[in-house]
Amino acid sequence: MPKDYTVARKAAIELASRGEATISELARLVGTSRQLVRFWVRDIDVPNRRRARLRKLWRQCLKS
């Protein structure tokens, strides 16, 4: 019987869209394959969003 990933999928999409996690990190958190997570976030440019988030964090750290 397949698992119901509805809540995990929504959370993964949210984190990916904010650039908070990579596909590998999300797969580990959810306990599923990277391929499945990649399918969930197929319309999101995860690597670029992640880089943008890290740049923002870096700038914030430099200012403090």
Write the secondary structure of 24-56 as one string of H (helix), E (strand) and C (coil): HHHHHHHCCCHHHHHHHCCCCCHHHHHHHHHHH
Euclidean distance between CA atoms 51 and 8, whole angstroms: 23
Structural tokens at position 45: 């440019």
pLDDT at 8 over 50: yes
pLDDT of residue 10: 96
Residues above pLDDT 70, as percent of the chain: 97
Residue 2, amino acid = P
Q: Is the pLDDT of residue 1 over 50?
A: no
Whether residue 16 has pLDDT greater than 70: yes
Token pair for residue 50? 């992640």
Percent of the chain with pLDDT over 90: 91
pTM of the model as a whole: 0.85
